[in-house]
Amino acid sequence: MSQVSQDRFSVHAQPLTLALARWQDGPELFVSVQGEGPSVGRTSIFLRLSLCNLHCVWCDTDYTWNWKGTAFAHRNDRQTGYQKFDREQEIIHLTVPEVAERLRLFGVRRLVVTGGEPLLQQEPLWHLFELIYDPSQKWFIEVETNATIVPEPQLDSWVGQYNVSPKLANSQNPDHLRLRTDVLRWFADCPKAFFKFVVEEPGDFDEIEQLLRPYAIPEDRVWIMPQGTTSAELDQRLSWIAEQCIRRGYAISDRLHVRLWGSRRGV
């Protein structure tokens, strides 16, 4: 990379950095197949960012927020020997040019930015998207989000698809944190946004319907996914999810990566 390119992303006193989840000796940055939602099965690079503004009790990436010394609740807290995570150990800070360099090496041009909550780090992200831009090999960028933060225009211009996952009461986040009407309205009006709900009980469907109604979000933009980190858990929920989805016109999402590799990091 030229010095000129490097300097464009070092206009601040410090170079712009991203807080990524740490995996083994480096960042959680890997090629896999999208396992959930409308792009299921597509080979993609996954960029897992650390930090989240919600704290879902069933979150399967709680190493992005469930820090030692915090009072956040997680179901794993009940497991014997389970320990919350050391924030310093779990986050790796990389500059935007460093992340761009790593992305280019994969040779894949489909990127899924996931977390944690990626929209907590919008400015370095849009600089990253600008830096990797290549007119001869255009990227398709998916951003996953919990629907609590509106994307900035500078970020939105690079994004091809939002996988929007508003959290239901089953996440046990306080309503005022998980339900942001202005943000839901923004995504409802954005044709690039697809909605994915994590369900645990049949009663969750009524909650989804109530949540969608004020925004007139059509059924064909809605995916329903079972909560579960094992094939057995997914199987147990998918049968009644299928019945409800057929009746209500929603799409079903399995969790393909869990089927293939179990509940592991970096897949």
Which chain residues interact with ligand SF4 by CB under 6 A?
Answer: 52, 54-56, 59, 61, 64-65, 115-117, 146, 167
CB of 60 to ligand SF4, least distance (A): 7
Choice between 51 and 92, CB closer to ligand SF4: 51
CB of 35 to ligand SF4, least distance (A): 14
Q: Say how many C-beta atoms besides its own lie within 10 A of residue 253's C-beta.
A: 24
Residue 100 phi/psi, 5-degree rounding, is -60, -45
CB of 116 to ligand SF4, least distance (A): 5
Choice between 65 and 187, CB closer to ligand SF4: 65
Using the structure block, give the residue that is written with the tokens 């709680």. 62
CB of 115 to ligand SF4, least distance (A): 5
Choice between 117 and 254, CB closer to ligand SF4: 117
Structure tokens of 47? 């960029």
Choice between 9 and 85, CB closer to ligand SF4: 85
CB of 149 to ligand SF4, least distance (A): 11
Choice between 57 and 108, CB closer to ligand SF4: 57
Residue 19 phi/psi, 5-degree rounding, is -95, 105
Q: Which of 183, 252, 247, 245 is nearest to 211 (CA)?
A: 183
Q: Strands across the sheet with 222-226, in order? A: 29-33, 43-48, 110-114, 140-145, 161-164, 193-199, 222-226, 251-252
CB of 119 to ligand SF4, least distance (A): 11
Using CA atoms, how far apart are residues 66 and 63, in angstroms rounded to an integer?
6
**Are 49 and 20 spatial neighbours (Cβ–Cβ below 8 Å)?**
yes
Using CA atoms, how far apart are residues 255 and 230, in angstroms rounded to an integer?
9
Using CA atoms, how far apart are residues 152 and 223, in angstroms rounded to an integer?
25
CB of 29 to ligand SF4, least distance (A): 17
Q: Which letter does DSSP use for residue 151 in this model?
A: P
Choice between 35 and 97, CB closer to ligand SF4: 35
Choice between 44 and 114, CB closer to ligand SF4: 114
Q: Where are the alpha helices (DSSP H) in 40-180?
A: 87-90, 96-105, 122-132, 153-156, 175-178
Residue nearest to ligand SF4 (CB): 59
Using CA atoms, how far apart are residues 28 and 182, in angstroms rounded to an integer?
31
CB of 173 to ligand SF4, least distance (A): 7
Choice between 116 and 124, CB closer to ligand SF4: 116
Q: Say how many C-beta atoms besides its own lie within 10 A of residue 58's C-beta.
A: 16
